[in-house]
Structure 1
Amino acid sequence: MRDYYTIKINLPGGIVSPGYLKDILTAAWESGVRKVRFGARQQLLMTVHYEVVRFLEKDLQKLGVSYELNSETYPNIISSYCGEEVFRTGQWLGANEYHSVLDSFDYQPLLKVNISDSNQSFTPFFTGNLNFVSSPEPHFWYLYIRSKQSNNLFRWPELIYTNEIGRLAKIAEDCMLNEGCQNLETLYDAVKKQTDYISIPATQELELPAFTLPYYEGFNRYESRTWLGLYRRDELFSVEFLIDLCLLCLKTRVGEICATPWKSLIIKGIEDIHRNTWSSILGKHNINVRHAANELAWQTEDHTEDGTILKDYLVRYVEKNDTRTFGLCFGIQTRAKSEVFGSVLIRKRPLFQIAQLSLFSVYDLYFTENFNPNSRKHILFQKGLFKIHLPWQLERLCRQYNTRKTSENTDAFFIEKEEIKNASPATLTAHQCPNCMTIYHPEYGDTLNNIPPKTAFEALPETYCCPTCGTEKNELEEIQFPTAVLI
């Protein structure tokens, strides 16, 4: 018999009322649960001892709370509502539209559903199977379909009206799961045979913003109010603290608490007159709200101690070496077929496996196409790394990203010189490291690697590496420049 069970409670759209959450947490406290966490799909997760799990189940049933016990049958509907108003996008999408979409779901989806504002990048767009993304046309949405266990996306040919999303999603899910429709043509035909719905043609492609991850922790002003972001390094929230938080929300008339895909909480609409009271609650429970921005850019799987330990190990290295990670987010995958969100992906796998027995672990390091975490294409950077080698290779990848961004964003400038007649400047070929910009020139060789002058690049051994940062020979890039620079 297992000692602990996992109870999962979906919070549709990542939204929960303080009163509802307080009732759940009170029941959990009475059953001996002292800490809970929030999942990557904005759900509430509790680990409960087997001796009391039946009592907690009974209390949840009395409260009318839907839950799952050691099951992932019904994935939560996730949305970008947690960032609405907080990270302004200037689009038509607001609180009323989000609630209209969520209210249109009168069933529990078996497929993953994402509801996203196309102008934000705080929450993922395409980690669902049914991905609804707002269009420039008010109250109409793009729909992107992704089959289960697939990275292939295809776009619905129409924009869907807000109030039709729940009904269309239910029919599309039935066709995908029960009728075997796995491509756009067959699915579109099957849905059209079953129902009519309000839509308009999708005449233009979806344009997504460049990825940026805003700092989402601490007290922050917006308009005439304040929002509070709460992050926990170990991803665990004290039940006692959360109950106090719910009571304060009720007292100060804050109507909603938002869970984010980064396993944190956001509380909006804090009035200035209550700011000190909120600070007192954080002080009472020793809650820190100013972690470094690079630590907030990590996502791990739900229920993974290995992932949390590895995240802490890598974050400490990044802090110690002052590595620039701005513009990147990182995902750690310790289990096969799990899904995390990130522009850089670290996958753990066994070095040897005999039947069900895994021996030793290594890590593969990937990055997404153009370092966009919403891309479904992963590009291998390094394979089969031991844990001790992972931080340095991660820093190399960060440097590569920063070098690429610098070359993309730097404006070229030229200095006019007097024209020299009859001059035909000769050029020389060298090779440059794309990460640290060190140049290997055959005229000088490489004294640090015992390479004598006049050694051609082609004659270098295949094991040759950049003397500054260790980049391998096959990654060095050929460049041309005038011979005058050697004079």
Structure 2
Amino acid sequence: MRDYFIFKVNLTGGIVSPGTLYIILKSAWKVGVRHVRFGSRQELFISVHNDEVRLLEKEFISQGIIYELNTDRQPNVISSYCGEEVFRTGQWLGPQEYHTILDSLEPTHRLKINISDSNQSFTPFFTGHLNFISSPIPHYWYLYVRGQKQNTITKWPEFVYTNHIGQLAMEIEKRLLPHPTISVAALNDLIQQTRPYISLPAGPDLQLPVFSLPYYEGFNRYESRTWLGLYQRNEQFSIAFLMDLCDLCLRSRVGELCTTPWRSLIIKGIADEFRAQWSDILAKHQINVRHTASELAWQTEDHNPEATALKKRLLRYMDQQDTRTFGLCFGIQTRPKSEVFGSVLIKKRVKFSFGSFPLLSVYDLYHTEHFNPNSRTLIPFEKGLFKAQLPSQVERLCRRYNRTRGSKDLTGTLLETVENQRPTPQDPSYQCPHCLSRYDPLYGDPSQGITKETPFANLPEAYRCAVCDSPKSEMIPL
């Protein structure tokens, strides 16, 4: 029997009023909860002992709080509203447009939806199934569709008008869930025939902005006011602190709190006359607001102490080596079907198991194309690493990135590198018929000392599959 249950409360678009958050926190406090977490999709998580589950359910029902218990059937909507105004982009997009869209979305969506400013690099573009991204034309949006359990994204053939995003999202969901293999073109034709919406022909493909994660912690000025960013190293926020924070928001006329995909909080619109009171609250609860920029650039899976511990281990090593990480963000994935956002990705893989019990795990190290975390293309750097090898290899990848960044055109350089490494038709990939893993001459097999661009024919006869240890002779060309 499980000891703890996870309550999830969606904060649509990462926005919540201090009054609503106070009610949620007070309900959790009544049943003995003392800390909460924010998720990578800007939701709120509350861990509750099994003895108090029914009590908290009763509290939430009486207060009209919508929640899920140990499920994620209705994913939270991600939006870049948390960075609006504080990280200026020069776009036409403003608070009114965000609220118009978020108000039009149903709270019962089963597909993941992202709402993003195309000029920002604070929140992810493509971690949703329906990814709406602002276009150069005011009030019109790109839409990129990703099927469930798929990695490829497809551009919607039209720009979508702001006021019709909610309607279109619901129509797509009605048809995509029962028919997951339907093409985007067929889906668009079907919806236009039955439920037309305002649109324009889509322009050129979206150009991803150069990634640069802004420093999102501490007190910062914008226009005539101040915003405050809050991050906790252990990813847990004290309920006592958050309740004091909500109380001060109400007293100082701050109408919104914003959660971010980095499991942090942003409070906008702090008037100068209340600045000292905000500092007093931070001091009262021992809240530090000056963590290093490299520490703020990590994403791990929700409810994963193992990944959090690995993050701390890697950070300690990089701090000792004084590693430059500007322009990078890091993700740790320990579960096969989870999704994390990062330009450098560390993926755990079971190498040997006994039935369903893993006996030996290794780590594969990837970076995204052009080191842009919004790219869906992963390029392997090292595979089959043991945990003890990870820190030095991550640091080596950071150094490689910095050398590449020193060139005049990062994108052009990386494109040329990838093209030059592409194997010739005479050097096909080979696949293991037992575990279906592949040997690709483009990348070699660093875990067995095989360098990049080594044709399969040049592999030693003793070479074996890196995953299941099958002999080279059994592998078949693709």
TM-score normalised by the chain length of structure 2: 0.85
How far apart, CA to CA, are the structure 1 residues paired with 2:409 and 2:160?
37
Deviations 1:8-32 (A, max 9, x none): 0000000000000000000000111
Aligned pairs, number:
420
AA aligned to 1:351 is K
Contact 2:144 2:153 (8 Å CA) reproduced? yes
Identify the residue that residue 102 of structure 1 maps to in structure 2: 102
Aligned to 2:262: 262
Q: Aligned equivalents of 1:156 and 1:116: distance in 2?
A: 15
The answer to whether the aligner puts 1:174 opposite 2:177 as a matched pair is no
CA distance in 2, matches of 1:129, 1:2: 31
Cα distance per residue 1:215-235 (max 9 Å; x no partner)? 000000101100000000010
Match of 2:51 in 1: 51
Q: Name the SS for the 2:138 alignment partner.
A: coil
Segment drifting more, 99-108 vs 168-177: 99-108
Aligned to 2:438: none
Structure 1 residue 142 corresponds to structure 2 residue 142: yes
Considering only CA atoms, is the larger Rg found in Structure 1 or Structure 2? 1
Does residue 365 in structure 1 map to residue 390 in structure 2? no
C-alpha RMSD of matched pairs (Å): 1.9
Q: Which of structure 1's runs of 4+ aligned residues deviate more than 4 A?
A: 471-475
CA distance in 2, matches of 1:103, 1:75: 16
Instruction: For residue 472 of structure 1, report the CA deviation from its aligned partner.
Output: 8.8
Write out aligned runs for 1:28-177 (5 A).
28-177=28-177
5 Å matches for 1:136-285? 136-285=136-285
CA contact (8 A) 2:124 2:341 kept: yes
Q: 1:205 to 1:285 in 2, by over 3 A?
A: same
Kindly indicate whether the alpha-carbon contact (under 8 Å) linking 2:445 and 2:452 is maintained by their aligned counterparts in 1.
Answer: no
Query: How far apart, CA to CA, are the structure 2 residues paired with 1:186 and 1:356?
Result: 41
- Aligned position for 2:427: none
**Secondary structure in 1 aligned to 2:177?**
helix
Alignment of 1:465-484 (within 5 A): none
SS at match of 1:308: helix
- Matched residues in 1 for 2:445 and 2:236: separation? 46
Q: CA deviation at 1:204?
A: 2.5
Q: Which amino acid aligns with 1:91?
A: Q
Deviations 1:33-89 (CA, angstroms, capped at 9, x unpaired): 110000000000010000011000010011111100000101001100000001001
Residue type of the alignment partner of 1:24: I
- Tell me the equivalent position of 2:318: 318
Work out the CA distance in 1 between the residues paired with 2:64 and 2:232: 29
SS in 2 for 1:136: coil
Counterpart code for 2:335: R
Task: Look up the match of 2:347.
Answer: 347
Q: Which amino acid aligns with 2:217?
A: E
Aligned mates of 1:22, 1:203 — CA distance in 2 = 44
**SS class of match (2:141):** strand
Deviations 1:127-175 (A, max 9, x none): 0000000011111111100111111111111111111001100000111
Cα distance, 1:275–1:199 mapped onto 2, change above 3 Å: same
Check whether the contact 1:175–1:181 (CA below 8 A) recurs between aligned residues.
no
Deviation digits for residues 197-218 of structure 1 (CA, Å, limit 9, x no counterpart)? 1111113222221111000000
CA contact (8 A) 2:208 2:374 kept: no
Once residues 445 and 202 of structure 2 are traced to their aligned partners in structure 1, the CA distance between those partners, rounded to angstroms, is 52
**Farther-moved stretch of structure 1 (177-186 vs 255-264):** 177-186
Are the equivalent residues in 2 in contact too, given 1:15–1:257 (CA < 8 A)? yes
TM-score (norm 1): 0.84
Cα deviations across residues 394-450 of structure 1 (Å, max 9, x unaligned)?
01111111111112359xxxxxxxxxxxxxxxxxxxxxxx9xxxxxxxxxxxxxxxx
Partner Cα separation in structure 2 for residue 199 and residue 347 of structure 1: 40
Other structure's SS at 2:311 match:
helix
Residue 379 of structure 1 corresponds to which residue in structure 2? Answer: 379
Deviation, structure 1 residue 107: 4.1
What is the deviation of 1:108?
A: 1.5
% identical equivalent positions: 61
Task: Return the alpha-carbon distance in structure 1 between the equivalents of residues 218 and 146 of structure 2.
Answer: 35
Question: Structure 1: how far apart are the matches of 2:311 and 2:284?
Answer: 28
- Post-superposition Cα deviations, 1:343-394, rounded to whole Å, max 9, x if no partner, equal 0000112231222101132111010011110011111111111111100000
User: Aligned partner of 2:308: which letter?
Assistant: T
Contact 2:157 2:185 in 1 (8 A): no
CA spacing shift, 1:365–1:473, aligned 2, 3 Å: closer
- SS of 2:150's equivalent in the other structure is coil
Q: Which moved more, 1:205-214 or 1:91-100?
A: 205-214
Tell me which residue corresponds to 1:390.
390
Give the letter aligned to residue 62 of structure 2: K
**Relative to 1, partners in 2 of residues 1:344 and 1:397: Cα closer, same or farther, differing over 3 Å?**
same
Question: Is the contact made by 2:89 and 2:120 (CA closer than 8 Å) also made in structure 1?
Answer: yes
Contact 1:115 1:131 in 2 (8 A): yes
> What corresponds to 1:308 in structure 2?
308
What are the Cα deviations for residues 452-479 of structure 1, in whole angstroms up to 9, with x where unaligned? xxxxxxxxxx999xxxxxx99759xxxx
Residue 298 of structure 2 aligns with which residue? 298
Task: Give the distance between the partners of 1:280 and 1:266, measured in 2 at CA.
Answer: 17
Asked if the contact 2:147/2:180 (under 8 Å) is kept, the reply is: no
- Per the alignment, residue 452 of structure 1 pairs with none
Quote the residue 1:26 is aligned against: 26
User: C-alpha separation between the residues in 1 aligned to 2:32 and 2:371?
Assistant: 43
Instruction: Answer yes or no: is the 8 Å Cα contact 2:148–2:180 preserved in 1.
Output: no
